[in-house]
Structure 1
Amino acid sequence: MLQWMNRRRLAVAGTAALVVAAGALAGNATTASADRGHVRAKVAKATLHNADGARVGRVTMKQKRGKVVVKVNARRLTPGFHGFHIHVVGRCDPNAAGGPFTTAGGHYTGGQPNHGDHAGDMPSLLVTDNGRAQMTFVTDRFRLKDLRDADGSAVMVHAGRDNFANIPDRYSAAGKPGPDATTLSTGDAGARAACGVVR
């Protein structure tokens, strides 16, 4: 009788230990999943492709203490300065009816109407003679969650230079002093040369 009771106690204790261990494993899995979600919320990436579909670069964005550190590494681009912006839709279709990557919509403005003040306006990308570009900068104009809305967002490299709508009143456009509507919207950076969906 005593042996039977001891065996029963051991069996119950063993079952309890297994339940506790299973719970701990489940808790660890939940914690690991939450940790991955937290890391993803703080890091975003975009792979840049040109209109021919070739991969031409990578953009990494890491959020730290209310600011976002942006790193760019690109290649196979035309030497010179290029407009570099966040656009409002995460769709990079090189065969879009309106021209390559027009599916990405306009600049991410963050509520600011004019180019140069848009939340998605970033420093111009300088490409060296060998077609390569590297840049790192910090912005506090957007958070990663802002770029992950219902239709996403995209990083865009334009074919031309960006004047950031910096057209003093001593110049005129269509007979009016200062920048015209196109300049205020896009900075005259021209066609879209490379695009990457923010993920």
Structure 2
Amino acid sequence: MPRKTNAALAVNLVLALAGGASALWPAQATAQAPGRAPAQAPAQAPAQVPSDRPATAVIRDVNGAVLGTLQIDRYDATKSRVTVNVRGLTPGFHGFHVHSSGVCDPKSVDAGTGSAFTSAGGHLEPGSSGDAAGNLPSLLAAADGTASASFLTDRLTVNRLRDGDGSAIIIHAKPDNFANIPDRYTHPKDETGTTGPDATTLKTGDAGRRVACGVIRTPA
């Protein structure tokens, strides 16, 4: 009888120890160090959502007179609609470009060409052969000096115009040939060679002086 009692006691002791260990295991696994906050997943930066608010500009001549306005709206995920209405131009075609700096200073004059608004920098994202992101269709001014245009482009979006130094819209005095000069035409030798478009044509499309400028304001 004592032998049976001892065996029963041994079994009960093993079961009690096993139950105690299983009860302690979850508490040990979830215990936190004193004074330390529970770990959290790292926060993710919010994705940049394309703005549905338009970019705008008031276009002025070298004397500060307002000639008109520009508006750039988001058309879809990759394209923008550009709308411009101006007056006070000489009749005919005028080069029309987005430039890389949002500063329209009429006293900033190019010493070589006498052109104002050089503070606006060069064309936005210049490419090869005059194919820059900032190249837009030329404006055609009527006999009364007014011009209006609306078109789509996938070369720029409102978000792309929102950078550190901004951007500006420029109207030139002459038509833009977009450096479309066939190789059969020759010119004095320069760094581009002796045929096709020369350095000046590649830079401005022979559009001449900058006669109007507007700082492009983008939504916050």
**TM-score when normalising by structure 2:** 0.69
Alignment equivalent of 1:113, drawn from 118, 128, 138:
128
Match of 1:56 in 2: 67
Q: How big is each residue's C-alpha offset from its partner over 1:149-187, in whole Å with a ceiling of 9 and x where there is no partner?
A: 100000000011101000001101214110011111210
Match of 1:89 in 2: 101
Q: How big is each residue's C-alpha offset from its partner over 1:94-126, in whole Å with a ceiling of 9 and x where there is no partner?
A: 1114341110001112x52331x1011000000
Percent identical: 51
Cα-Cα RMSD: 1.4
Match of 2:40 in 1: none
Per-residue deviation at 1:70?
0.5
Gaps spanning 5+ residues in structure 1: where?
Answer: 1-36
Per-residue deviation at 1:75?
0.4
CA distance in 2 between counterparts of 1:186 and 1:94 reads 18
Residues 30-179 of structure 1 correspond to what in structure 2 (within 5 A)?
38-40=51-53, 43-65=54-76, 66-98=78-110, 99-109=115-125, 112-115=127-130, 117-175=131-189, 176-179=194-197
CA distance in 1 between counterparts of 2:178 and 2:120 reads 20
Q: Is the 8 A contact 1:82 1:157 kept in 2?
A: yes
Per-residue deviation at 1:130?
0.3
Larger Rg: 2
Q: How many residues align?
A: 159
- Give 1:52's aligned amino acid: N
CA distance in 2 between counterparts of 1:75 and 1:56 reads 5
Alignment equivalent of 2:213, drawn from 173, 195, 198:
195
- Give 2:155's aligned amino acid: R
CA distance in 2 between counterparts of 1:114 and 1:45 reads 29
Q: How big is each residue's C-alpha offset from its partner over 1:54-111, in whole Å with a ceiling of 9 and x where there is no partner?
A: 00010111012121000110001111100000000000001114341110001112x5
**TM-score when normalising by structure 1:** 0.76
Gaps spanning 5+ residues in structure 2: where?
Answer: 1-49
